[in-house]
């Protein structure tokens, strides 16, 4: 990508330290800084922002970043790139001449939507950047990380001293392995199923998309069982499961609830639910968001793990995976400005959630009982 003769539309980018509980990822790597700097876009990184991901201030400085002492300094730039949605203490930094590029999940966090609208901030959400084939390129890497973590977390909390049934995922000769049910065969679900199968559990994946199930079956040659998702198949498999992984996604909208509270009551005592969809409201009726510091709760005798930023548990891996995906889109937004970039690329058009106090993504707006406007007509 080449720069325009007039220079980038956004000339400064801020990278603040994440403030969500136990969130150790950072939105940009030193390689990302170098790419932006090469195009005349100056990056201001809050001191210590990368420490949790094992990236030192000196690494950023060597790549061309300016290290700034406070969050306010990072947020003062024309564009801010983050990992997670702004928390209430960060709302003070939102303003009309700011472009914010991060995971937003506004359907699950309506207070964030209200703050963005009130401040007239231009916001771009990683999770709604959508290619023409329907894929979500900026959600995919974190979905893969969360999906691979889900069986790992599930196995941990299946241990008896952690509140679970005391079941070993792979069993041993003469003893059955754990029964793992994965609801959804997208990036999260497929990644979860692969890891659970690798742990030698008995894995069943449910999805409404039969083509997706065929793909899983062809790749894994029967090692992972597939079922068409409907109320009957969900009820039968969930009641028999030791571990249920919720991996149902609707791009930009709230996750549909596919497991009712009554069904949770019928699950095996001390079985485990890992609801990866929690950052979009969760696909299990009994889910409420937890944190890495306090990751589980028990309801109806079932252990629930519902951490809203699961990839934050492995921030070094997650940070590099995230920047690999987000950087090309960040460059487009910085070089052309958000709305102009949206006119040039429909993927970014889908990604823009708010402009000048108005919703611009129809699916997100509908999930919040609001109406979107079209700001992309030249």
Catalytic positions are 105, 279
Are the C-beta atoms of 192 and 148 separated by less than 8 Å?
A: yes
d(CA 189, CA 207): 9
Task: Using the Cα atoms of residue 109, residue 110, residue 116 and residue 118 in order, give the sign of their dihedral.
Answer: negative
Instruction: Give the pair of three-digit tokens for residue 154.
Output: 């599930």
Beta bridge partners of 284: 259
d(CA 242, CA 237): 10
CA 36 to chain centre: 24
Residues 6+ apart with CB under 8 A from 211: none
Are the C-beta atoms of 282 and 249 separated by less than 8 Å?
A: no
Instruction: Give the pair of three-digit tokens for residue 202.
Output: 């008995």
Residues 6+ apart with CB under 8 A from 95: 119, 120, 121
d(CA 272, CA 284): 12
Element housing 207 (H / E) = strand 202-207
d(CA 340, CA 348): 10
Are the C-beta atoms of 128 and 351 separated by less than 8 Å?
A: yes
DSSP string, 61-119: HHTTPEEESSHHHHHTSSEEE-SSPPPGGGGGG--TT-EEEE---TTT-HHHHHHHHHH
- Of residues 343, 337, 338, the one with CA closest to residue 376: 343
Are the C-beta atoms of 231 and 183 separated by less than 8 Å?
A: no
């Amino acid at each position: 990508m080449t720069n325009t003769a007039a220079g980038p539309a956004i000339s400064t980018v801020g990278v603040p330290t994440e403030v969500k509980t136990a969130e150790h990822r950072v939105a940009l790597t030193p390689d990302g800084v170098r790419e932006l700097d090469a195009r005349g876009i100056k990056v201001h990184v809050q001191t210590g922002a990368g420490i949790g991901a094992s990236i030192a201030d000196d690494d950023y400085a060597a790549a061309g970043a300016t290290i700034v002492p406070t969050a306010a300094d990072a947020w003062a730039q024309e564009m801010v790139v983050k990992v997670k949605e702004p928390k209430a203490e960060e709302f003070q930094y939102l303003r009309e001449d700011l472009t914010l590029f991060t995971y937003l999940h506004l359907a699950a966090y309506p207070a964030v939507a209200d703050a963005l609208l009130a401040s007239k901030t231009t916001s771009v959400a990683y999770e709604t950047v959508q290619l023409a084939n329907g894929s979500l390129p900026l959600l995919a890497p974190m979905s893969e990380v969360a999906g691979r973590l889900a069986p790992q977390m599930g196995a941990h909390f299946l241990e008896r001293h952690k509140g679970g049934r005391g079941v070993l995922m792979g069993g041993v000769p003469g003893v059955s392995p754990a029964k793992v049910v994965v609801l959804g065969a997208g990036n999260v679900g497929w990644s979860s199923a692969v890891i659970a199968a690798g742990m030698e559990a008995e894995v069943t994946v449910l999805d409404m998309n039969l083509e997706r199930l065929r793909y899983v079956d062809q790749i894994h040659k029967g090692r992972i069982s597939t079922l068409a998702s409907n109320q009957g198949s969900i009820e039968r498999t969930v009641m028999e499961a030791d571990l249920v992984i919720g991996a149902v996604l609707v791009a930009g909208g709230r996750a549909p609830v596919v497991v009712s509270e009554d069904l949770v009551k019928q699950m095996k005592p001390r079985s485990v639910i890992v609801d990866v969809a929690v950052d979009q409201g969760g696909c299990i009726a009994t889910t409420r968001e937890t944190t890495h510091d306090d990751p589980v709760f028990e309801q109806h005798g079932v252990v629930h793990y519902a951490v809203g930023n699961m990839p934050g548990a492995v921030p070094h891996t997650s940070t590099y995976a995230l920047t690999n995906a987000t950087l090309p889109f960040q460059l487009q937004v910085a070089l052309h400005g958000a709305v102009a970039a949206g006119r040039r690329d429909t993927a970014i058009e889908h990604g823009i959630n708010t402009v000048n106090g108005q919703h611009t993504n129809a699916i997100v707006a509908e999930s919040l009982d609001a109406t979107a406007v079209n700001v992309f007509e030249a």
